[in-house]
Amino acid sequence: MQNPPNKSHGRLSIRASHRARPLVQDTPDLAGVWKAKVLTLYPEMFPGVLGESLTGKALKEGLWGLEPIDIRRFATGKHRNVDDTPSGGGAGMVLRADVVARAIDYADDGAARADWPVIYLSPRGKRFDQAMARQFSAARGVTLLCGRFEGVDQRVLDARAVQEVSLGDFILTGGEIAAQALIDATVRLLPDVLGNAQSIADESFSDGLLEHPHYTRPAEWEGRTIPEVLTSGHHGKVEQWRREQAEHLTRTRRPDLWEAYQHRKNSGG
């Protein structure tokens, strides 16, 4: 038997579900809007910084959606434990596979993984970058699993085909800050969130280079002046200067990016 098609009442999405849902959701389920579902032991940490500035304004305007999901809701038994001691011994605790699986299955709700990736924020994961943010922004949404303690039982990551993504080679106390950073980088790429598409086109990593330096008034500050070319009114020379500066900064500060940029340039990519 096929699932019934989604129905929309205005912008609210109405769909059948195989699992009971809470009577009140933190944010409305808006039809056709990119959404982040965050599996966390600390749902009160959201929206956090995402509720401020342009991302917060876009959230209030319904340009994207956010659904924090408390992992503790999916614990069972007398003590409703979400974690247990590591098999083989060692310090700390590990989030249980059965609890996390129920949370992931609830968040999935039949969504195709090609359109809705499930991501575990982990230092073992693939390094997050601008290309990945663009990939996630093209999906219908993402589900982010925020680890705590020593991590998550590997079996649930394997069984549910969870992607592991890292912000860098450092350790946080949990995945919530990393999740907010990933969401912010992705949401700002959605249509109408920034309000100026050129801002995205000109910024760092948009073409594989670091961004050129910026200047504004006053024309002189503490004896330092704005580069003359930027006040010349000659747009062609301004663009050439900015390109040269971007290439110089990338070559000297990020040789890894410079090498990849040169490779694409020489191969016509």
Distance of CA 153 to the CA centre of its chain: 23
**One-character DSSP codes across 165-224:** EESSSS--SSSHHHHHHHHHHHHTTSTTTSS-HHHHHHSTTTTSSPPPP---SSSEETTE
Give me the domains of the chain, ranges plus CATH numbers.
Answer: 23-187 (3.40.1280.10), 204-267 (1.10.1270.20)
Strands (E) across the chain are located at 7-9, 12-14, 35-40, 65-70, 83-84, 94-95, 118-127, 141-146, 163-166, 220-221, 224-225
Beta strands 12-14 and 35-40 are unpaired
> What mean pLDDT is reported for the chain?
88
Strand partners of residue 221 = 224
Residue 190 confidence class, pLDDT cut points 50, 70, 90 = very high
Alpha carbon distances (Å) from 97 to 68, 102, 158: 19, 9, 10
Q: How confident is the model at residue 232 (pLDDT cuts 50, 70, 90)?
A: very high
Average pLDDT over residues 35-57: 98
Q: Compute the half-sphere exposure of residue 66: CA atoms within 13 Å on the CB side of its CA.
A: 25
Where b means 16+ CB within 10 Å and e means fewer, 83-106 reads beeeeeeeeebbbbbebbbbbbeb
pTM assigned to the model = 0.83
On the question of pLDDT at 22 being above 60, the answer is: no
